[in-house]
Structures are given as C-alpha cells and as structure tokens.
Amino acid sequence: MRNPFQYGGVVSGQSFCNRTQEAADLRRAVENAEKLFVYSERRLGKTSLIRKVLAELPEEEYLTVYIDLWPTDGETSFVLACAKAFSEAMATNTDKLLHTAKTFFSRLVPAVTANDEGKPIVTFGFDQKRPDVPLLEEVLSMPAKAAEKESKRIVVVFDEFQQILEYESDVVERLLRSSIQHQTDVAYIFCGSRKHLIRQMFMDSQRPMYRSGSHYPLGLIAEEHWQKFITEKFTGTGKRISAEIITALCRLTEGHPFYTQHLCHPLWELCEEGGEVTLEMIDQATGLLLDRESYAFMNLWDSLARNPRRFLKGVAAEGPGVQVFASGFLRKYQLGSSSNVQRAIELLLKKDIIDKEEGGMVIPDRFFRLWINSKQGI
C-alpha cells in the first residue's frame, strides 16, 4: 500500500490539509486585483496554497500566470522566465503558442517543443538584430495586453520573489513597481520564503517596492486540522492513531506542514496494517529522521562559534516564546552580555538558521531543533 504522507513537492487534493481561511483570503485578494506579498519560512506550503487558489479560479474568467523566479539570476533570465510563463498561460496548443510568443515578444525568438505529456513548452532566444526594443518593459506590460486580448482578468504570481534581491541591479524591482501601479485590474502575488528579506522589501522606505502592496504572513497549520488529516490518512489505510499521539507529534513539529508530513511518513511505515501507533514509534521515527540528517547537522554545528551554539541550545530547549535578552536566559546559557546575543542573532539570521517571528525566535528546521535537544553533550 502506498504511504499516504507526502513531503517535498507541491501537494494538492487529498494530500492538502485545511488552509480554508487562507485560501479564502487569497481568493479575495485576487478578486480585488490586489498586490499582495505572501511570505513564510521555508516549506510552509506557500506554493501549494497558491497553486490551489489559482486552480480553483474559474477558467473562463481568469488567466493565471505563475512565474517561478528560483532559477533566475538577473534581468535577462527574469525576462525569459516571464515571457515563457505568459506565452504558455495564453496558448493551449503549439501553433497558438508560437503565434502568441511572436506577437507579444518582438525581440525574442521562440521555439516550441512538447514535454513528456505532449503539452507544448516554449523556449526563447534573443533576436540580436533588434537590440533597441526594451525587453523588460515589454514583458512587464504583458499582463495589461493579455487582459485586453483575452478579455479575462489576470493574476500574476511571482514565486520565490526574494530571488530578485540577488540580481546585480534593482532595475527589475523599480520597473516592476511602476508597472504594477498602473495595472489596477491585474492581481499580483509576490511569494517568498526568506521572510526578513521579503519584509525588508516592502517595509524599507529605501527600496523600490516599498509599500507597493499589502502583506500576508502565512502561518503554521493548527493541531485541530492535523488531528483530522492524520487520523483520516491512518484509518483510510487500515491503521490507527490516537488523538494523544497526534498531539505529541504536533508538539514535535509545531504543526509545520513539511516536518509534520515528513515525520508521519516513517511513522506510517513503522505501524503494521491493522495496528495502532504507539509513543515508542514516534521516538523511533524521529530517531530515524535525525540519524539521516545527523551528518549535515553536525557539520552545521561545527561551523558555528561558541556563543551562537549556546544561543541555539537555549532557543531549542526553551521554545520560540523565550525572552532571549532576559538576564535569566543569559545566565542559564552562559551568554555573558546581551551584545553577545545580538551578534549571535545577526549571524544566525544571515545564515537562515533562525528566523524572527511575532512570538520570538524560531529554528525553522524543526528536525535541527530536535537534534540540538537530543544532543545534550554538544
């Protein structure tokens, strides 16, 4: 029988737990043609949620364009990624795709191939003979043109938006700002996973995207939803799990979707068909996962100096709500002064080992936190 827990890629359908409120909120934002920044720590389910919201929009009314900026590293690859996403969103067959690509992107030379499922895929090169046409403006004006041509409402999603901070110049950010301001009928969702960077982008008055939209921090999934989801997955496959065990499991993962699914995966394997999950199985499953990661965790730990390690130990043991500048914390974890804590925080934030939440400091990798707690001697 197939393991019902999925982790890693985008999840949908039966593998998607709750997020009813979040989906409704994003749907409203789309209907109102808002410009919205959606952000959270890594692997919290942003892409899955946004994909679901896009898929549920009526096709006859909306044209949805999803652009993954992860592989882009500058203006050129940004332009190519946008051109590709727009052409593919607007064309359903190969001929139409080629036509669309040629009509809309005068300086790009399109070539169309088919993927494994026979769906047309477009790739672009540049027409060097026409260097005068401003490409970036061309792709950024695309949503307005597409709205007119298709007589549909347009939703543009930029996923992994923090990537544009890696670009050499801020020209993309600047032009994007001015073009979205004029496109009052187009909904834009900017989605990103390095929260402090995304926040900085729209909250720092020095940055081009400053206050160019509203923001939506995506949170964890509450235990009550996991209770239903996990119970159904076990009972649906002829195994049992009690509410208390699910509570214990959620305490370990803090309801983080990726880590919850990841831990449920070996737990389901450990439980025999017709059997019931025990607390020992949770320890076993956790042990298995930590063993698998221990080499990487050890390397990461070795790369840190004494104070960041002590700080991490404290946060791992006390949980996110702990007052890290309080004298009790400094004393207990031998941190000396609050300036040592400040330096440790800066370093760990930069390395993405911790993240700042409304409730305090979190170690986003829930397994790393468990690993630190399990190694008292380190």
Residues of this chain that bind ligand ATP (CB under 6 A): 6-11, 16-17, 19, 40, 42-48, 193, 257-258, 261
Shortest Cβ 234–Mg ion spacing (Å)? 27
Please say which residue, 46 or 239, places its beta carbon nearer to Mg ion.
46
For residues 147 and 184, the answer to whether their CB atoms sit within 8 Å is no
Cβ partners under 8 Å of residue 254, min gap 6: 220, 362, 366
Residue number with the smallest Cβ distance to ligand ATP = 45
Partner whose binding site includes residue 8, from ligand ATP, Mg ion, none (CB under 5 to 8 Å by kind): ligand ATP
Which residue in 40, 47, 162, 261 binds Mg ion (CB under 5 A)?
Answer: 47
Shortest Cβ 313–ligand ATP spacing (Å)? 26
| Crossing angle (nearest 10°) for helices 257-270 and 243-253 | 130
Q: Which helix (H) or strand (E) holds 345?
A: helix 338-350
Contact track, Mg ion, 5-44, x by CB under 5 A: ----------------------------------------
Nearest to 27 by CA among 3, 60, 62: 62
Residue number with the smallest Cβ distance to Mg ion = 47
Which two structure tokens, joined as six digits, stand for 58? 């009526």
Please say which residue, 48 or 212, places its beta carbon nearer to ligand ATP.
48
Cβ partners under 8 Å of residue 282, min gap 6: 245, 248, 249, 252, 263, 267
Q: Is there binding between residue 163 and Mg ion (CB under 5 A)?
A: no
For residues 216 and 230, the answer to whether their CB atoms sit within 8 Å is no
DSSP string, 86-127: HHHHH-SSHHHHHHHHHHH-TTEEEEEEE-TTS-EEEEEEE-
Partner whose binding site includes residue 349, from ligand ATP, Mg ion, none (CB under 5 to 8 Å by kind): none
Residues found in the chain: 378
Shortest Cβ 41–ligand ATP spacing (Å)? 7
For the chain, the farthest-separated pair of C-alpha atoms sits apart, in whole angstroms, at 70
Please say which residue, 46 or 310, places its beta carbon nearer to Mg ion.
46
Please say which residue, 47 or 253, places its beta carbon nearer to Mg ion.
47
Shortest Cβ 46–Mg ion spacing (Å)? 5
Please say which residue, 69 or 322, places its beta carbon nearer to Mg ion.
69
| Positions in the binding site for Mg ion (CB under 5 A) | 47
